[in-house]
């Protein structure tokens, strides 16, 4: 057994590094106001409900265009979408590697844009979409026709089988009524993937349908934006009032919308974990470097065990989590990924928590400057803190592991 990453993966990482130096760093250098201590101010359109500024989005679009031209942007996507169908291991290694390089235009945290794109909705459309629905695919990749995701509601998040939003059949149309919360990027979207109960009763897994609703449809209204820990943000409250869509708006099958949602979330969980592990590795390395150079009480901080030991704990945890993520991704390439969703959940909640702890420790080790926006750690903390709630919160991930550990819900009981 060889525990090295395969040579084709390490070669790809080196290729990405060279591309970043040649094509992305110069672009970043020309636009430093988006990356230095003023970054939130430069990026946020305060007069437009705290949404991202048009100039900031334009810069992301240019980064993505360059990455697409170089053949990197679509790497993780199916071949039918112009992608290279990279393995889960390849994508996890890339996510970890890019995050471990620290903050930058190559892998920006704000809306999770990266030179190797993260488009979890695209494989879902490729697998389940009609030819007409698949027209969204290229628009999503190029940023010209975004499709947002509307599952969460004011009354329900983790318990997605209890949605209050309803869809009632009216001839060959459906009429949707309800409210959606945390409807990310819907303000710039052309379509909104809305989940609504079309049959069955609260708590049933069947009976929820996914509809692609054009955002210009009468009755579909973006009400306001939620301001978050990490500005700018683009996470809206959306109202659906007598929204009428044809039967052809259904993505996949009537009543089987949760399968669509599950596939979307599952795509993201392992990648999010890999990004968190990489960002944790960056924070730990930077803190160790600073501790070696900072002189306190006449000697380097690194000589103090109170500085060493917390970083040693994090370093040990990071090594284990990182390797478990790579092993899980490797296994996902060999069997149905949903069969090992407990392993994916372990990766997710442990890596996201680790990243927050590592960013917090890096702030502490850097003292007052660690707390300032001149250093990247507070930004890393704010972003990755979100991962402990979205894509299934920590508790929801643990709930999944418990299903396997105790043999609930038809899952295998661990011996």
Ligand X SMILES: Cc1cc2nc3c(=O)[nH]c(=O)nc-3n(C[C@H](O)[C@H](O)[C@H](O)COP(=O)(O)OP(=O)(O)OC[C@H]3O[C@@H](n4cnc5c(N)ncnc54)[C@H](O)[C@@H]3O)c2cc1C
Q: How far is the CB of 393 from ligand X (least distance, A)?
A: 3
Query: Can you tell me which of 31, 300, 393, 411 binds ligand X, judged by CB under 6 A?
Result: 393
Q: Does 349 bind ligand X (CB under 6 A)?
A: no
Residue nearest to ligand X according to CB distances in the complex: 157
Q: Applying CB under 6 A, does 149 fall inside the site for ligand X?
A: yes
* Residue 146: burial class (beta carbons within 10 Å; 0-12, 13-18, 19+): buried
Q: What secondary structure does DSSP assign to 240-297, as a single string?
A: EEEEEEEGGGEESSTTBHHHHHHHHHHHHHHHHHHHHHHHHHHHHHHHHHHHHH-EET
Parallel/antiparallel/unpaired status of strands 250-251 and 208-214: antiparallel
157 binds ligand X (CB under 6 A): yes
Whether residue 88 contacts residue 329, with contact meaning beta carbons closer than 8 Å, is answered with yes
Piece of the chain touching ligand X by CB under 6 A; list 13-21, 104-112, 143-151, 281-289: 143-151
| Token representation of residue 281 | 């590795």
- Smallest distance from ligand X to CB 257, Å: 12
Q: Which of 220, 235, 281, 366 binds ligand X (CB under 6 A)?
A: 235
266 binds ligand X (CB under 6 A): no
271 in contact with ligand X (CB under 6 A): no
> Under the criterion CB under 6 A, does residue 208 sit at the interface with ligand X?
no
Q: Is the CB of 149 or the CB of 282 nearer to ligand X?
A: 149
Q: Which of 44, 88, 152, 209 binds ligand X (CB under 6 A)?
A: 152
Residues in region 353-392 near ligand X by CB under 6 A: 386, 389-390
Binding of residue 231 to ligand X (CB under 6 A)? no
Q: Show the DSSP H helices in 333-376 as ranges.
A: 341-365, 368-371
Asked if 147 touches ligand X (CB under 6 A), the answer is no
Distance, in Å, from the CA atom of 61 to the CA atom of 113, rounded to the nearest integer, reads 9
Please, which contacts does 291-296 make with residues 24 or more away whose CB atoms are closer than 8 Å?
Answer: 291/365, 294/367
The span from the CA of 350 to the CA of 332, in Å, is 18
| Nearest alpha carbon to residue 117 among 52, 64, 189 | 64
3-state SS, residue 198: coil
The smaller minimum CB distance to ligand X, of residues 23 and 357, is found at 357
Does residue number 300 form part of the binding site for ligand X (CB under 6 A)?
no
Please report whether residue 290 would count as binding ligand X according to CB under 6 A.
no
Nearer to ligand X, 145 or 389 (CB): 389
- Sequence-distant (≥ 6) Cβ neighbours of residue 389 within 8 angstroms: none
Comparison of 107 and 110: residue with beta carbon closer to ligand X: 110
33-41, 94-102, 198-206, 394-402 -> range binding ligand X (CB under 6 A)? 394-402
- Segment interacting with ligand X (CB under 6 A) among 3-11, 92-100, 144-152, 310-318: 144-152
Query: Considering the complex, what minimum distance in angstroms separates the CB of residue 186 from ligand X?
Result: 8
Contact 345, 392 (CB under 8 A): yes
Q: How far is CA 91 from CA 16, 88, 188, in A?
A: 12, 5, 27
Cβ contact 183:225 at 8 Å: no
> Judged by CB, which is closer to ligand X: 286, or 342?
342
Tell me whether residue 273 or residue 396 sits nearer to ligand X (CB atom): 396
Q: Are strands 166-170 and 146-150 parallel, antiparallel or unpaired?
A: unpaired
Under the binding rule (CB under 6 A), the answer on residue 228 touching ligand X is yes
- 162 is a site residue for ligand X (CB under 6 A): no
Which residues of this protein are in contact with ligand X, per CB under 6 A? 149-152, 157-158, 182-184, 228, 235, 386, 389-390, 393, 395-396, 399
């Amino acid at each position: 057994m060889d525990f090295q990453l395969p040579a084709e993966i390490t070669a790809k990482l080196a290729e990405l590094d060279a591309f970043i130096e040649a094509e992305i760093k110069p672009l970043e250098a020309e636009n430093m106001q988006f990356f230095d201590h003023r970054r939130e101010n430069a990026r946020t359109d305060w007069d437009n409900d705290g949404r991202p500024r048009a100039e900031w989005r334009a810069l992301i679009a240019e980064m993505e265009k360059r990455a697409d031209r170089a053949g990197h942007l679509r790497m993780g996507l199916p071949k039918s979408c112009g992608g290279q169908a990279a393995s889960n291991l390849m994508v996890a290694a890339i996510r970890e590697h890019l995050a471990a390089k620290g903050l930058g235009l190559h892998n920006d945290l704000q809306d999770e844009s990266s030179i190797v794109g993260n488009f979890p909705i695209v494989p879902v459309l490729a697998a389940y979409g009609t030819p007409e629905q698949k027209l969204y695919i290229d628009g999503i990749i190029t940023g010209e026709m975004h499709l947002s995701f509307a599952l969460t509601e004011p009354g329900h998040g983790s318990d997605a089988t209890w949605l209050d939003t309803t869809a009632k059949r009216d001839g060959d149309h459906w009429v949707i009524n309800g409210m959606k919360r945390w409807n990310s990027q819907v303000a710039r979207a052309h379509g909104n993937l809305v989940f609504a109960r079309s049959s069955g009763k609260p708590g049933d897994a069947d009976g929820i349908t996914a509809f692609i609703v054009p955002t210009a449809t009468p009755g579909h209204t973006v009400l306001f934006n939620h301001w978050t820990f990490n500005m700018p943000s683009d996470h809206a409250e959306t109202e659906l009032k007598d929204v009428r869509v044809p039967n052809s708006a259904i993505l996949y099958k009537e009543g089987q919308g949760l399968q669509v949602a599950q596939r979307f979330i599952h795509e993201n969980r392992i990648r999010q974990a890999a990004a968190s592990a990489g960002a944790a590795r960056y924070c730990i390395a930077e803190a160790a470097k600073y501790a070696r150079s900072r002189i306190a009480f006449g000697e380097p901080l690194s000589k103090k065990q109170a500085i060493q030991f917390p970083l040693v704990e994090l370093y040990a945890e990071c090594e284990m989590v990182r390797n478990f993520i790579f092993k899980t991704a490797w296994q996902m390439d060999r069997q149905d990924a949903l069969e090992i969703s407990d392993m994916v959940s372990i990766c997710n909640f442990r890596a996201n928590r680790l990243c927050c702890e590592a960013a917090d420790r890096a702030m502490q080790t850097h003292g007052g400057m660690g707390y300032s926006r001149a250093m990247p750690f507070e930004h890393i903390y704010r972003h990755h803190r979100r991962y402990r709630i979205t894509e299934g919160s920590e508790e929801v991930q643990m709930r999944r592991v418990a299903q396997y550990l105790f043999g609930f819900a038809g899952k295998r009981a661990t011996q």
